[in-house]
Structure 1
Amino acid sequence: MLDNLLSNAIKYSPAGSAVTIRGWHAGRSILEVSDAGYGMDDADRIRVFDRFFRSSSARRSGIHGTGLGLVVPRKSSNATAAPSTSAAPSVKAPPSP
């Protein structure tokens, strides 16, 4: 899961830019990956976890992709995931027992 999140962040960010990983526990484990990528508009942000979806900026970039970069970690963690207002994907594990 972490490999997919990091690979996606690096792949769609300008060379040499920062990728930040944050993790914390607030009743459940939360992992957030943010980058200085090409960004996406609100319409794309709503669909970012749809299978095979690629944002308009990703398609324009010419970078090859399948549209599964954020879907796979979400499915494999059996977690809930939603883009925040900062567009940093976060994956939240199920609540701790």
Structure 2
Amino acid sequence: MKRALFLLAAVLALSTGPAQADDDDDREHHTSSAKFYGTVEALPPSVRNGIWWVNGREVIVSPRTKIKEKRGSIAVGAYVKVEGYLSGIGLAADEIEIKGSRRH
């Protein structure tokens, strides 16, 4: 009987899959932080959330990303500073600061 209960518990544990870490846990365990400057080349339709392209790099912007627009607005052509960390899917931005408005 004990063996049957143990097997049942093992099957239930495996069927639920591994526990998912939340974003805060992922940030605590990252090993490669990154900071770079560049020009915004493309923005997603929602502008604030999704994949941005900055100097040929894919930047993941989430609702948790702090965006500072004191020196300009988000737009293709804006010069920005990106700070974040390398995650399993690319560079996840913690902060993006607009350093200059669109260049003509």
TM-score (norm. length: structure 2): 0.25
Larger radius of gyration: 2
Which has the larger share of strand? 2
Quick one: higher RCO (CA 8 Å, sep 6+), 1 or 2? 1
Which has the larger share of helix? 1
